Structure 1
């Protein structure tokens, strides 16, 4: 029997094709012709008809035509938008966020958080994959890679947005299932913010009050420690927010830096609008702050909100320029004071901390207040946030003193 020619060797064995299945002799691929949910003519192809077929030499492996047909059947039965399924995950997130922004107002910080998620996801393969091709194993691989560089709380924030974007894709018939449904992570590996001890707080404040280079920051830092204000809320205080007669601070706005411009924004949440009582120490600080407040050239710094409304009379101004300050300025002042304190107390330094730790310290020191009262003062919508995220357990020596005082009062009664 004569040997087969080269062309006959490469020619596949004749197979029984189903309706709408074809073999394209030019491309040497099997094809399936169909109409999508919108009636658009489409074609999928593969070098193999069945999963068990041998792949032609030198060709990349992929799903067989019959496997692709089975997936298409599910998609067609569920009216899946084929073009939507080809969008990348980043493109779907972009669509979801536009949809979300049209539905409700979101805070500046929330939007910044979403942008951070997008920038981070853009560094991973998952963000650039077609959403219809993403499987749970791809999501698990992403999670494994994320854990090498990011903390649990940061990862969970990203998971939340990605999950909601997949749900959006399901609602709009891009995909059938959410491959991120079972993806989660443990936030316990995140570093919890710990309050400064009462002793260290007192030592630090006393130093700031006496040190020639730190004294100008003393009242501001004292107010942060003893009011629990967010830094942006402190920066946003105007003269009409300070009720010296009733010893109250009206918190109704915040000042943040957006694109190098100081912008007045609403409070972080609806619960952020509140009255914060002044301790006697805070009252004395505001007496000095208001008495010593001055502006250069009698020109009040003016900031605007996102609607163009002007605000002036800001309580806290930069030491030299007398312009408004934002978080970065407060951070700089605080770090300089800590550095000076530690240089002067090298045998007993304090740890470095951010302005937000002052808020945590206030919450810890004031946990003797009724929980709902503390929740209101901090501007939280949920008592769980107050008790789990802000209140730290007091040091053992302080616990010992307090438990003995309580035991003594019970025995006395």
Structure 2
């Protein structure tokens, strides 16, 4: 059994989704000396969680499976959804609207069938355009849905208001005494601080040369975590693409309370934002990486950009053409690339570092990081206190042995686009969405 940490000083690197969840959970459990560092002002414009909305879905009972993999995801979703449905802080941001999983290609549809077979809830098959249109009010899904097949889960799923809940987590953490130090100088971490023997992390040094020392350091910097610590190829920073479709106030009323429509090889959209009449549109693909050589090795290095490749916009137009053609020519008013960090098996990496004392890593959202963020905070603090359950700990552990010969181009079970991971270094045309022409 690991030795539990006392209620001493904690330094959290990263004020994104996971950093805020971790800080909040620490404060709720009575830790009083908590500092969070981030190189951007809050909320960070590059944080994946600073977004309109994210898909959320309940899981099956984790006790019903012998598979460690299934147990892991069901247990994580169980913890997270308990917070989204019952915690007064999170509850206002969850909308149970239902969820449609569908596909066009045969391989992608097999993924939908596997999803349906694993569901305990009763699902409605959707086999043609009439079926899809019946899931939403008249005049919403006017497309012909060529080749689309899928399933509707009308309860136990929906979406969460991402940026709203991110701000709520941070505000409550501040109310409970957490200090957030942000900005390109005072908040940006330039490097970790090590003991003279290099076996203990003492904190971090920021760009203004300030040393922030703490009894424990938690690295939760998302896709940027890989820049601060050698993860031994366990993380691959990967980007996805999104745009916002503006609606009139009258249109927005018609598009409320809609099931999330997710095409695993096309993309997805969620009903209008609660603050502005805009729908988030995402094209689906195995991801973009930014491959450059770092110290003689090929690495994907994240960067911020409020533009997307023109090919991504074309894919979004195809999604609209097939589902809501009334919007296929409407100009988007915002776009950006959104980064996460993929592990080889797409499970999270939350563990005490095996070679560095007083260091906890919390990374590898792998596309599941926001919806499960309430659970992440719990699991990280349980890791700090040495109370993580045996089965969860096994699935969360530091595991470089499975990344030794990692294929950086592995699609990791994702579909869409040309069925391959794309390199941002090879993108020649970027959209001008939201830019002055």
Give TM class, smaller chain.
Answer: under 0.3
More strand by share: 2
TM-score scaled by length of structure 2: 0.21
Larger radius of gyration: 1
More helix by share: 1
TM-score scaled by length of structure 1: 0.22
Larger RCO (CA under 8 A, 6+ residues apart): 2
